[in-house]
């Protein structure tokens, strides 16, 4: 089944403890991206990648890192999480840019930082 898999689905952690949210897609998509969803703010793009080893900042990259060492994986790294990073996170992928390549989303990761 074609899908984007995010893990974990729920995560509670403490301030400053490094964590990684994994994202993997099995559709051979070139493009991948991370979003955070907050009430009243909608989805905001954190980072995106248009190819292996190519990443770029979205609108809210502060406090996050990503890597794209292989096409299928695009982990999101929080080196020192803070409470303002408590959010719902989504990974998404698409074959290319544009109208005929809509985003395929993972099921989301609910992160709580205390």
Partner 1 sequence: AQTVTQSQPEMSVQEAETVTLSCTYDTSENNYYLFWYKQPPSRQMILVIRQEAYKQQNATENRFSVNFQKAAKSFSLKISDSQLGDTAMYFCAFMKHEGTYKYIFGTGTRLKVLA
The answer to whether residues 92 and 51 touch, using CB atoms and an 8 Å cutoff, is no
Binding flags for partner 1, 16-55, as an x/- string (CB under 8 A): ---------------x-x-x----xxxxxx--xxx-----
Residue 74 binds to partner 1 (criterion: CB under 8 A): no
List, in sequence order, every residue forming a beta bridge with 25; answer none if it has no partner: 4
Residue 61 binds to partner 1 (criterion: CB under 8 A): no
Least distance (Å) from partner 1 to the CB of residue 92? Answer: 7
Question: How many Å separate Cα 41 from the centre of its chain?
Answer: 17
Judged by CB under 8 A, the number of residues near partner 1 is 26
**Number of neighbouring beta carbons within 10 Å of residue 14:** 11
């Amino acid at each position: 089944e074609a899908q984007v898999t995010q893990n974990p689905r729920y995560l509670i952690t403490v301030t400053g403890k490094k964590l990684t949210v994994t994202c993997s897609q099995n559709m051979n998509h070139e493009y991948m991206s991370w979003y955070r969803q907050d009430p009243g703010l909608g989805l905001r793009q954190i980072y995106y990648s248009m190819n292996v080893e190519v990443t770029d900042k979205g609108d809210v990259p502060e406090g996050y890192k990503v890597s794209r060492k292989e096409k299928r994986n695009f982990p999101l790294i929080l080196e020192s999480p803070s409470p303002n990073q408590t959010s719902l996170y989504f990974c998404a992928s698409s074959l290319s840019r544009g109208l005929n390549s809509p985003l395929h989303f993972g099921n989301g990761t609910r992160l709580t930082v205390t």
